[in-house]
Structure 1
Amino acid sequence: MHTPPLPLTRDLVLIGGGHTHALVLRKWGMDPLPGARVTVINPGPTAPYSGMLPGFVAGHYERWELDIDLVRLARFAGARVILGGVEGIDLDRREVNVPGRPPVGFDVASVNVGITSDMPALPGFAEHAVPAKPLGPFAARWAEYLEGDGPASVAVIGGGVAGAELVMAMAHALKARGRSAKVTLIDSATALSATGPKAAASIRRAMAGLGVDLIEQTQIEHITSDYLQLADGHRIEAEFTTGAAGARPYRWIAKTGLALQDCYIAVNGHLQSSDPHVFAAGDCAHLNEDPRPKAGVYAVREAPVLFDNLRAALDAGQMRRYVPQKDYLKLVSLGGKSALAERFGTALSGRLMWRWKDHIDQKFMNRFRDLPQMKPAPLPRVHAAGLAEALGDKPMCGGCGAKVGRGALRTALSALPATQREDITPLPGDDAALLTTGGARQVMTSDHLRSVTDDPVLMTRIAAVHALGDIWAMGARPQAATATLILPRLSPELQQRTMAEIMATATEVMREAGAEIVGGHSSMGDEMTIGFTVTGLCDADPITLAGGQPGDALILTKPLGSGVLMAAEMAGKARGAWVAAAYDLVTRSQGQAAKILRSAHAMTDVTGFGLAGHLQGLAETSGCGAVLDLDAVPVMEGALDLSEQGIRSTIYADNRALAPELPTGGKADLLYDPQTAGGLLAAVAASDAERLLAELQDAGYPAAIIGHLTGTPGLTLQS
């Protein structure tokens, strides 16, 4: 008997990808709560680990080593990930506000967004300095500055441990690069006042050994692009200025209506805010019952308690109290591969302490790099022949990777009788039909996609752009659309939330394209599937597959690789940054590109059959062949790396069989990769190609001329 997935009944929303939430997600993947839909919202696909930032600044770590990959972690946890910065929480409506999308509903929420070291009150800071937190933007700016040459000048504002670590790391990195540097640490009071006397003395000696100038008891009046003006009249030369002082919560927290302490979210021993359905952890939270300093060790120790209490808030278990430790081991990087360890007033320093710190940091990060591989359920002992082969050795892809192969589709369509209606014009090979109604020419197409992401908003954008592709490829103006939705089993409240997200997004995308949603149909199934039937109006003859001419240049408006990236993401093997970049590409409208290419002789959109399959269809229907310049074919970041690891979409083999004359291996394998919401492939007059390419690129499309049509049938690669 088929056992359908259990319904989802409650929404748990994790706001921020901080250390606490990252550990909660990892635990959730090991022990999920049936019926709970988990969502994590974060500005980017990764969350940097603060403990390794000084090591990165000093040059001991690569940039990627700092990052917890939230996209991969969310896949492991069975959670949906939303990439965006939160602007607020509506407690009455139980919604989280994220720019550019409908509100995200919740039953239980948790906030773990960290803090910022921005200094809005210091004149010139916003224009000429970069705060040390959030870590991602700071790390990128520092890496860019470090790559320069010639004398350097840097200044760090804030003489706490964080500022001291940063300034020593910067001094070490510049020295290792052979750049003469003026490095300054500035504090308005006494530096290192929160550390013990022995530790403070050791850190001061380390800074002096690296040539760091320490200025204390001095206010900064303003910052410019190349110096800091001090209140005592002195100017401190600084091309790169950062702030590690004045850490504060994000401004939107003050507008939530939650009880605050010094602008931080006040929480009780259960990590609950004044609203029992909203929790908070890490640096953005204030522990009412036992206040502690802002330190990552507390965020890490809060994770198992938060995990249990979130489940309890969802009616699964009992709340338990978080009891913070009174003191903790402080490990301070000293620039080079040396560190200081302090606890209970005892301080030790040297290379051994660095190795200890590195071991602790790497052990923490390995919890997210080496996620356990959950084994699929075994096949029943007794089953019909061919079941194992049909199931395959990997999960079925979503998007166009889940489509039926072209061979099976052609066989089924070839048996259909010819149309008997005079108002329908057959267009062999095209995915859209041409209708004539009252003298108006109208094209109609239908497409749907098995979800590649559990975020209904993102999936709706992908599916809508994908369905519109056939209209744009024929040079038509989108007119109207109906939606076809299959939702997984959800409680009535979650159904309403999900439908509202989908329809609001569909309306937005279709209206941007010039069309209106006029209806649709919905049902429930095992998983989310979203599709649209779209009509478009033709002001001129439609652009079909049949108009290509020998000598035409071939223009592609989007890079290849979405199929392999989405297959890798489902398998937990793709970097989150690659996946985020791919989603940005597949949700990009092709409406302006279609207008630019309205003079094309033939055009199609590159989707399920891959570039080779769709080019073959265009060439065959036009009575031509084609030569591809493989080097010129653009590909998405990470796609080639993953392809060379042998990662394939479900219908890769079927697509490969469409063009057996082309080679395989390396970049050529991406010619058969099924694309979801792929680019337009246009055959244009060679004399117009460069002008059209320039217009496309000026409009923001990563387009390229990738070959030309010939009078000889078949596909070949340019030698």
Structure 2
Amino acid sequence: MMHLPLTKDLVLIGGGHSHALVLRMWGMSPLPGARVTVINPGPTAPYSGMLPGFVAGHYTRDELDIDLVKLARFAGARVILGSAVGIDRTTREIHVPGRPPIGYDVASIDIGITSAMPDLPGFADHATPAKPLGPFAARWAAFRDGPFASVAVIGGGVAGAELAAAMAHALRAKGRDAVVHLIDRAEALSALRPAAAAKMRQALRAQGVTLHEHTAITKITVGGVHLASGEVLEAQFITGAAGALPAAWLAQTGLDTHDGFVTVSPTLQSSDPDIFAAGDCAHLAHAPRPKAGVFAVREAPLLHDNLRRRLAETDNLRPYRPQKDYLKLISLGRKSALADRFGLAPQGTLLWRWKDRIDRTFMRKFTDLPQMAPPPLPTPRAAGTIEALGDKPMCGGCGAKVGREALGTALARLPAPIRADVVPLPGDDAALLLTGGTRQVMTTDHLRAFIADPVLMARIAAVHALGDIWAMGAAPQAATASITLPRMSEALASRTLSEILDASAEILRGAGAEIVGGHSAMGDELTIGFALTGLCESDPITLSGARAGDDLILTKPIGSGVIMAAEMQGRASGDHVAAALSSMSRPQGDAAALLREAHAMTDVTGFGLAGHLHGMLTASKVGAELTLDAIPLLPGAEALAAQGIRSTLFPKNLAAVPGVAPKSPREDLLFDPQTAGGLLAALPDGAAKVAQLRALGYDAAVIGCISGTWPGHIEIV
């Protein structure tokens, strides 16, 4: 199958319901030549329809969340974890704090709303808005499991009533004597027809919710809600469901807005035809509708089609015609629901089951993603093709590297250096250059991309390459970059190179080095590498100095290989992927400075913890004891290993370390290839160093000790 060059950038700002559905549809039928990016504050996006059920305790948090990392992998999109704060329409760039601007050709906004109440004194300090849903859900879960049971909900609309009933039910289910207040400055439940409103009021009374109507609030304090009457309603958890405010930055984009919401035409285009908007953050000028998730879901197919047509530069965009009325299925706290449509208001457990079925069916769209069949292999083909391909896609990062045996065999064929000023270092990762009394170390490393975001990939590649310099106790000096881009237009190549070099320079300059040049080319996929030099005040730290009695310190947890292998298969949770990427992209210059007195040190990368430790032990002619339970692991790594997920380099890493036969998933992770992994140091008094490293924020640990037993032998205890 021919891969066309990338020529257009589509950027989805926000992971709302419309965009989640667009990503799913895109994965089913991608537009050739278009690169898709989704920007969201976190790796998941909660589904609003199940929020009352989550609050009541009927759903877990995992059931509430759409995993955008898995969804983006399915769609072939890159995920940027951050909050957009602006759009520069002149330069066609979207701004996200902490990273270079993101260029776009076509963009869409689906960032929802907030129910914060900035004009209510004390709300920002002592209350939690019900939207955005993610922070609210996390804070409610912590409160629900705590010792308190007094709640106030501000806003007597349908959303506020659902939350109040759900909170009362959840707290009583925990055995608490719950006190729940629902407060509205006007008449509550005015959006419902009279029959439905009456039944909702009855349900609130049945749950023990006290309804306060036509009640003004003057302020919120740590003690509760202060009313204009002078009464104070005691509450340890206060939330607001009355507001529907847009993100403040939308007003600064220059787009036409209505009360701060992006005004869109029937085609969901804003006043800028290359910027679309959907969901609660959009205002349908031709057919205004209330803020409800049903409209975001119905907008998705049309938004998907119109984005494709705009990217293809065709003009026949479709209009969106929202329905005038829609069925409201309202949760009543316990597993019962109320319907409101056509003046009818049935309620009961059967309606809850119907609502539950609708919600679960919607969420299965994102959990049960279809398996897209790969293109068939050509026939005829050379013998050995299937064996060379293997039974699963090749991993990226260090998981794509050549095995230790093949690399060692090839390097052994090289003649020994004859220059007196070039001194090979043990392990062949680097060399010591002696120039006029100056000690300079030199190394190189590169990575095949395993994520679609060039910025994050560049940061990880820079941290990974710096690992050799830090492990030698050297100060990073200079770097040249080597970048291969997938085939793309000149405009996209310019954007991508700028992102990569800006992100790389930030990491390298932070480490004390400068990018002094580089080379670029186009190929089948993104690879990023660096050649680096570093300066040593004294002899570099090598693999050969470990001594019996030394403690072994590891500065980062392991498991990145298995997590990224699972991510490629759509089997890793977005939260675990985000944690692994955060670990990989963290520089270790401050950790290296603390470990400069190490007797031996290496960075844990492609050969895995066991392989790199074996190299140190062999060079130092000592053995080691590893305390298995002391080794820090990335969240989710052990569970994925227990499912049999392995990086493609795992078998070669296992074969390269004699005498160790893993008997558990945790032991398997000793052979998991790491990308931008931690520093492994042998030195006395490791506990004191670990305390200092932990004070810097590292998940560091003493994982064993050097013994005087057989050279190269690893004993697991």
**Which TM bucket (shorter chain)?**
over 0.9
- Residue type at the aligned position of 2:46: P
Output the amino acid matched with 1:76.
Answer: F
Distance in 1 between the 2:190 and 2:113 partners? 21
Identity %: 66
2:187 pairs with 1:190: yes
Residue number among 248, 254, 257 corresponding to 1:251 in the alignment: 248
2:487 counterpart residue number: 489
Measured against aligned partners, the alpha-carbon deviations of 1:355-414 in whole angstroms (never above 9, x if no partner) come to 000000000000000000112222223222211111011111000000000000000011
Q: Deviations over 1:269-320 (max 9, x none)?
A: 0000000000000000000101111110000000000011001111265310
Distance 1:163 1:338, change over 3 A: same
Q: Does 1:370 align with 2:368?
A: yes
In the alignment, the residues of structure 2 paired with residue 508 and residue 646 of structure 1 have an alpha-carbon distance, to the nearest angstrom, of 37
Q: Deviation of residue 426 (structure 1)? A: 2.0
- Pair 1:689 & 2:686 matched: yes
* Paired position in structure 2 for 1:108: 106
Contact 2:563 2:572 in 1 (8 A): yes
Distance 1:444 1:28, change over 3 A: same
TM-align CA RMSD:
0.9
Corresponding residue for residue 216 of structure 1: 213
Question: In structure 1, how many angstroms separate the alpha carbons of the residues matched to 2:119 and 2:595?
Answer: 50
Distance 1:717 1:294 in 2: 62
Provide Cα deviations, 1:120-156, integer angstroms capped at 9, x if missing partner: 111111111111111111111011011113x511000
Whether 2:271 is the aligned partner of 1:269: answer no
Q: Which residue of 2 aligns with 1:154?
A: 151
Q: Deviations over 1:612-653 (max 9, x none)?
A: 000000010001011111110111001111111111111100
State how far apart, in whole Å, the 1-side matches of 2:73 and 2:508 are: 29
TM-superposition CA deviations, 1:193-247 (whole Å, max 9, x none)? 0110011000100000111011011111111112111111110000000000111
Structure 1 partner of 2:389 = 391
Alpha-carbon distance in structure 2 between the residues aligned to 1:697 and 1:611: 20
Asked if the contact 1:559–1:634 (Cα under 8 Å) also holds between the matched residues in 2, the reply is: yes
What amino acid does structure 2 have at the position aligned with 1:489?
R
Residue correspondence of structure 1 range 518-537 to structure 2 within 5 A? 518-537=516-535
Q: Which runs of 5+ in 2 are unaligned?
A: none
- Residue 169 of structure 2, aligned match among 172, 196, 207: 172
**Contact conserved, 1:630 with 1:717, CA < 8 A, in 2?**
no
More displaced 10-residue stretch of structure 1: 456-465 or 433-442? 433-442
Match of 1:672 in 2: 671
Matching residue of 1:304: 301
1:552 to 550, 553, 562: 550
Find the partner of 1:634 among 629, 632, 635.
632
> How much does 1:670 deviate?
0.2
Counterpart secondary structure, 1:338: strand
Amino acid at match of 2:668: D
What amino acid is the match of 2:141? A
Matched residues in 1 for 2:2 and 2:585: separation? 31
Q: What residue in structure 1 maps to residue 642 of structure 2?
A: 644
Q: After TM superposition, give the deviation of residue 430 of structure 1 in Å.
A: 4.4
Q: Which residue of 1 aligns with 2:324?
A: 326
Structure 1 runs (4+) deviating above 4 angstroms are none
Residue among 69, 89, 98 paired with 2:96: 98
Letter in 2 for 1:326: K
Name the amino acid aligned to 1:192.
Answer: L
How many angstroms apart in 1 are the aligned matches of 2:139 and 2:298?
A: 31
- Aligned counterparts of 2:313 and 2:92: Cα–Cα separation in 1: 20
**Normalising to structure 1: TM-score of the pair?**
0.98
Give the structure-2-normalised TM-score: 0.99
**Residue 716 (structure 1) shift:** 3.3
* Matches of 1:601 and 1:192, distance apart in 2: 71
SS in 1 for 2:320: coil
Q: Distance in 1 between matches of 2:616 and 2:590?
A: 22
Name the CA distance, whole Å, in 1 between partners of 2:223 and 2:250: 33
What is aligned with 1:413?
Answer: 411
Residues 322-366 of structure 1: CA distance to partner in whole angstroms, max 9, x if unpaired? 000010010100000000011122111000010000000000000
SS across alignment from 1:592: helix
Residue deviations 1:399-446, cap 9 Å, x none? 000000000000001111110001011212141211011211000110
Q: Which residue of 1 aligns with 2:695?
A: 698
SS in 1 for 2:346: strand
Name the SS of the counterpart of 1:626 in structure 2: strand
For 1:658 and 1:114, locate their aligned partners in 2 and report how far apart those are by CA, in whole Å: 52
| AA aligned opposite 2:534 | G
Counterpart amino acid of 2:388?
A
Shift of 1:4: 5.5
SS in 2 for 1:12: strand
Residues 430, 544 of structure 1: 8 Å contact kept? no
Residue 574, structure 1, aligned to residue 551, structure 2? no
5+ residue gaps, structure 1, are none
Map of 2:120 onto structure 1:
122
Task: Specify the alignment match of 1:465 in structure 2.
Answer: 463
Cα pair 2:329 2:338 within 8 Å, conserved? yes
Equivalent residue of 1:41, what SS?
A: strand
CA separation in 2, counterparts of 1:156 and 1:294? Answer: 19
Alpha-carbon shift at residue 108 of structure 1 (Å): 0.3
Question: 1:164, 1:356 → 2: CA distance?
Answer: 20
Q: Is the 8 A contact 1:4 1:526 kept in 2?
A: no
Q: Aligned partners of 2:31 and 2:600: how far apart in 1? A: 52
Instruction: Tell me, in whole angstroms, the C-alpha distance in 2 between the residues paired with 1:428 and 1:360.
Output: 62
1:82 pairs with 2:80: yes
> Deviation at 1:661?
1.5
Q: Offset at 1:666?
A: 1.8
Residue 602 of structure 2 is matched in structure 1 by: 604
Q: Distance in 1 between matches of 2:111 and 2:486?
A: 30
Distance 2:11 2:520 in 1: 25
**1:564-583 CA distance string (max 9 Å, x none):** 01111111111011000100
1:540 and 1:417 map into 2 onto residues whose CA distance is 27
AA matched with 2:679: L
Query: Which residue of the partner structure matches residue 708 of structure 1?
Result: 705
- Check whether the contact 2:424–2:430 (CA below 8 A) recurs between aligned residues: no
2: distance between equivalents of 1:258 and 1:116? 20
Query: In 1, are the aligned partners of 2:553 and 2:690 still within 8 Å (CA)?
Result: yes
Give deviations 1:35-91, integer Å, cap 9, x for gaps.
000100000000000000000000000110011000000000011111100001111
Q: What SS class does the counterpart of residue 695 from structure 1 fall into?
A: helix
Query: Which residue of structure 2 aligns with residue 314 of structure 1?
Result: 311
The whole-number CA distance in structure 2 between the counterparts of 1:377 and 1:709 is 51
Structure 1: how far apart are the matches of 2:32 and 2:2? 13
- Of 437, 442, 449, which residue of structure 1 is paired with 2:447? 449
Distance 2:277 2:391 in 1: 41
Q: Which amino acid aligns with 1:307?
A: H
Opposite residue 260 of structure 2, the aligned amino acid is: C
Q: CA deviation at 1:460?
A: 0.2
The one-letter code sitting in structure 2 at the alignment partner of 1:258 is L
Residue identity in the other structure for 2:673: P
Residue 347 of structure 2: aligned partner = 349
Contact 2:115-2:241 within 8 A present in 1 as well: yes
- What amino acid sits opposite 1:10 in the alignment? K
1:527-581: per-residue Cα shift (whole Å, max 9, x none)?
A: 0000001110001221100110011110000001000011111111110110001
State the match for 1:42 in structure 2.
40
Whether 1:440 aligns to 2:446 is no
Check if 1:236 corresponds to 2:233. yes
Q: 2:132 aligns with which of 134, 140, 150?
A: 134
Q: CA deviation at 1:711?
A: 1.1
